[in-house]
Amino acid sequence: MLEETGIVTHTDGIMAKVSIQKKGTCEGCAVRGVCEPSESGLEIEALNSVHAAAGQTVKIEMKPQAYLRGAIIVYGIPLAAFIAGAILGKNIGESYLDVINSDTSAAIFGFISLIITFIIIRIWSVRTETKPEYKPVITAVISEQ
């Protein structure tokens, strides 16, 4: 379980924006290449399950598998779709399309599959936006400010 502490900067219903300061532990984190916080820190949106108020220091937890799953969905699936679309486009171009070059049809099919994949991922993202398994969750109020 990834755990962090931060200060609530804003609340909106069941969600809260939390400012997290970068720590030395970022260097040893398994997902540091995906996160990339700035030197001043990182502001994230988390489910406010403990009804924390602005200014409170809170503990935030997130499952590392969810973080990595999200990275694979956002980066890996579009890459695979682009490659598959390019291969399909090249094969179709060589077999059925005499009007255009097979490399051109590979590029067209690759980009079309990439765009379709991004649309599908965006729809999935909107549907899963508030599910706790995909969002950080505020689990405890540590102190008042």
Residue 145 is predicted with a pLDDT of: 65
Whole-number Cα distances in Å, 84 to 75, 81, 88, 102: 15, 5, 6, 15
CA 13-15-18 angle, to 5 degrees, is 130
Return the higher-pLDDT residue of 143 and 51: 51
Looking only at the bridges linking them, the beta strands covering 57-62 and 137-143 are antiparallel
Q: For the chain, what percent of residues have pLDDT higher than 70? A: 84
Beta bridge partners of 138: 48, 60
pLDDT digits (tens, 9 = 90+) for 77-104: 999 999 999 999 999 999 888 888 999 9
Sequence spans of domains, the chain:
2-63+135-143, 66-128
Residue 67 is predicted with a pLDDT of: 74
Residue 71 is predicted with a pLDDT of: 83
Q: Are 35 and 42 in contact (CB under 8 A)?
A: yes
- CATH code linked to domain 2-63+135-143: 2.40.50.140
- Cα–Cα distance, 61 to 18 (Å, whole number): 12
Return the higher-pLDDT residue of 133 and 108: 108
